A and B are shown apart, each in its own frame.
Chain A
Amino acid sequence: MLRVFRNEGRKGNDRVRKLKWKKARRRSRRRPGPACAVSAIRKGPLSKDLKPYSRECFYEVFEEEIHQVIVENQLFKPRERVAIGASGGKDSTVLAYVLSELNRRHNYGLDLFLLSVDEGITGYRDDSLETVKRNEIQYGLPLKIVSYKDLYGWTMDEIVKMIGLKNNCTFCGVFRRQALDRGAALLKVDKVATGHNADDIAETVLLNILRGDIARLSRCTSIVTGEDGPIPRCKPFKYTYEKEIVMYAYFKRLDYFSTECIYSPNAYRGFAREFIKDLERIRPRAILDIIQSGEDFRISTFTKMPEQGTCERCGYISSQKWCKACVLLEGLNRGLPKLGIGRSRGPNNDHKKGTKETNGAKSIESKQCGTLDF
């Protein structure tokens, strides 16, 4: 659906579109919620979506649009086992709710599961996991929790104690990615669905541009990723505005957890986030346009792209000798937490230079990142 809209938008004259937009805004201001006393607004990409919807209509449009995205992109096949990456936050809670609803309504025939990662952050993840446990009961979906402690031998609390509040998000991010895959393997699912919304993806496009990370830039807008890997991931909310998700969760009184991670301030991402929200206020379509820009980037043929291989140590997908998680873990276990942070350090580079591995690798604490084979 949205694809069609966006293409139409591109063909049209920009000035005409702006006028249409303004007119629609004025119209909607004059007549707030014509048919129904209570209205939500739907800020879709086209002016026609700016008209007010009643609560019930909003639910329907919201859910059916996600259904369309699922069908058009063939995100699922009948009888597949699908894990929903569940953090207890708004996006994954709404995703769990909507997917189980659509699964019933449109007979997808999916076996749905909730999959949570316990990073071991006291006062944050333990609380949000309580939300996921309630969701397990509310939506009748089996829940699997995998923890950093079990997979890597370290909780985030312990990691932060050792490395401080700098770079801790790098550890957490790298570990979470693998943890989800390993949890998915344990559940024997065919796919993982995550709650990434349009705002998140636009944010990631900008961040990848700011970092010059061309490999990720070309990947981050795909609605399905990792099809060549063990377990593909998909983003049914790719075209869904964060605002709509929050509004849906509020009106449906869905039970979600909304506290910032106690270790978080991921300042760089925070700036990108605010910038996008500022843009959205002036021109809501900006979010979808950034995604489209990300999709349409063409990478010059002489840009060197990293080759995908597998980690020599744990077998996880990696473009280097060792995957990032193994490098970080090695650093932690050897008491050199800076290993793998930044560009010029770490065993991957050591290998290239032909220097010898230090033999600290087999310390007592040493545990490979995860114990599953792919």
Chain B
Amino acid sequence: MQLTLEFGGGLELLCDSVKVHNVSVDMPKGAEKLIMKDLLGWVRTNLIKERPEMFMKGDTVRPGVLVLVNDCDWELSGQLDTTLEEKDVVVFISTLHGG
């Protein structure tokens, strides 16, 4: 599945300072859909190069990281259970840096 992932607010520093990543993510084995929970695991393994604790806490993003799926707050779409579709855009922005 082709997805566009964007990191901002300082999170890009965790993945070689690249803000926008066009990626191809496989569905988990035996599953019919890809949900945010799967994507977070994938990002942590494949994109985050340093200090993963700045991005995740437990099985979800660290509190203070804003997540938008197609420019919609993921708190509206079910957070970890949000279903992703082909060509979706997922944005992660840290609110924790500077002021």
Nearest to A89 among chain B residues (CB) is B98
Expressed in whole angstroms, the Cα–Cα distance for A216 and B95 within the complex equals 25
Q: Indicate if the CB atoms of B97 and A260 lie closer than 8 Å.
A: yes
B3 contacts A by Cβ under 8 Å = no
Q: Which residues of A contact B78 (CB under 8 A)?
A: 29
Q: Indicate if the CB atoms of B73 and A41 lie closer than 8 Å.
A: yes
Q: Indicate if the CB atoms of B9 and A90 lie closer than 8 Å.
A: yes
B56 contacts A by Cβ under 8 Å = no
Q: Indicate if the CB atoms of A41 and B75 lie closer than 8 Å.
A: yes
Q: Which of B10, B70, B97 has the most CB of A within 10 A?
A: B97
Q: Indicate if the CB atoms of B96 and A273 lie closer than 8 Å.
A: yes
Q: Which of A167-175, A250-258, A336-344, A348-356 contacts B (4 or more CB under 8 A)?
A: A250-258
B43 contacts A by Cβ under 8 Å = no
**Binary contact readout A241-259 vs B (1 if CB under 8 angstroms, 0 otherwise):** 0110111001100000111
Expressed in whole angstroms, the Cα–Cα distance for A43 and B63 within the complex equals 14
B90 contacts A by Cβ under 8 Å = no
Total interface residues on B, using CB and 8 Å?
Answer: 25
A35 CB to closest chain B CB (Å) equals 13
Q: Which of B13, B70, B71, B91 has the most CB of A within 10 A?
A: B71
A186 contacts B by Cβ under 8 Å = no
Q: Which residues of A contact B66 (CB under 8 A)?
A: 243, 246-247, 250
Q: Which residues of B contact A280 (CB under 8 A)?
A: 63
Choose one: B9, B63, B77, B93; the contact of A32 (CB below 8 Å).
B77
B3 CB to closest chain A CB (Å) equals 18
Nearest to B54 among chain A residues (CB) is A260
B1 contacts A by Cβ under 8 Å = no
Q: Which residues 72-86 of B have a CB within 8 angstroms of A?
A: 72-73, 75-78
B97 CB to closest chain A CB (Å) equals 4
Nearest to B97 among chain A residues (CB) is A258
Q: Indicate if the CB atoms of A55 and B13 lie closer than 8 Å.
A: no
Q: Which residues of A contact B99 (CB under 8 A)?
A: 87, 89-92, 195-197, 200
A101 contacts B by Cβ under 8 Å = no
Total interface residues on A, using CB and 8 Å?
Answer: 39
Q: Indicate if the CB atoms of B98 and A274 lie closer than 8 Å.
A: no
Q: Which residues 1-56 of B have a CB within 8 angstroms of A?
A: 8-10, 13
Q: Which residues of A contact B10 (CB under 8 A)?
A: 258-260
A311 CB to closest chain B CB (Å) equals 28
A38 contacts B by Cβ under 8 Å = yes
**Binary contact readout A227-250 vs B (1 if CB under 8 angstroms, 0 otherwise):** 000000000000000110111001
Q: Indicate if the CB atoms of B64 and A277 lie closer than 8 Å.
A: yes
A18 CB to closest chain B CB (Å) equals 17
Also in contact, A258 and B76, with CB within 8 A (given A38-B71, A55-B71, A278-B63)? no
A281 contacts B by Cβ under 8 Å = yes
Choose one: B75, B91, B97; the contact of A259 (CB below 8 Å).
B97
Expressed in whole angstroms, the Cα–Cα distance for A52 and B71 within the complex equals 12
Expressed in whole angstroms, the Cα–Cα distance for A92 and B9 within the complex equals 14
15 contacts between A and B (CB under 8 A): A32-B72, A38-B71, A39-B72, A43-B75, A52-B76, A89-B99, A90-B98, A243-B95, A246-B93, A247-B73, A250-B8, A259-B13, A273-B96, A277-B62, A278-B63
Q: 3 tightest A-B contacts by CB? A: A277-B63, A41-B73, A89-B98
